[in-house]
Amino acid sequence: MKKARNELLQFLAGLAMLVGGLFLFSQKVMVSSGFGMGFMLGGMHVTSGLLIVPLIIGIVWLFASGGSWGSKIMIAVGVLIIVAGVIASTTIRLQTITLYEWVLMLVLIFGGVGLLAKILIANPEEDYGYHSRKRNRKGSYSDDIDRQLEDMRRGRK
């Protein structure tokens, strides 16, 4: 029972470290977007207004055709193009920080991931001593279990 409690504490500590490190990291990252100006796509400057054209075509087609599959696909493609345009024009920068802050963030994030991985990916056979038992011919871990099952079948306790 003590081992399970220790694993729960390690899991919670790892989760707290990961969340704390990601919070500190997110406080130092600056995100900006130049979507209004457009972006470069394949060496060609595409303005943000041109991204809306497939959506407009899809909406007109939807109302003109009464709801065909092609119009719905065109609307979905138009929305995807707009989302991709916003993402493509996003700039992510890390503010100037001290080495101490950077190392602290890395230790918290990756230390937390390490603790979580240790608990979530652990091999239960190694942790609980199952590997120390010898398997018998039938492939079961204990002759006692086989005897208990046989006794239960015969009606003995």
47 CA to centre of own chain: 33
Which pLDDT score is estimated for 132? 47
Are the beta carbons of 84 and 52 closer than 8 angstroms? no
How far is 47 from 69, CA to CA, in rounded Å?
28
Q: For 43-82, write each residue's pLDDT tens digit.
A: 777 777 788 889 999 999 999 988 889 999 999 999 998 8
In the numeric block, which tokens belong to residue 130? 């199952």
Instruction: Read off the pTM.
Output: 0.53
Backbone angles phi, psi at 141, to 5 degrees: -80, -20
Q: What are the residue boundaries of the structural domains of the chain, listed by start?
A: 1-28+95-122, 33-94, 133-157
Q: Give the residue with greater pLDDT, 4 vs 24.
A: 24
Integer Cα distance of 140 and 146 in angstroms: 8
pLDDT, tens digit, for every residue of 96-138? Answer: 999 999 999 999 999 999 999 988 887 655 545 444 455 555 5
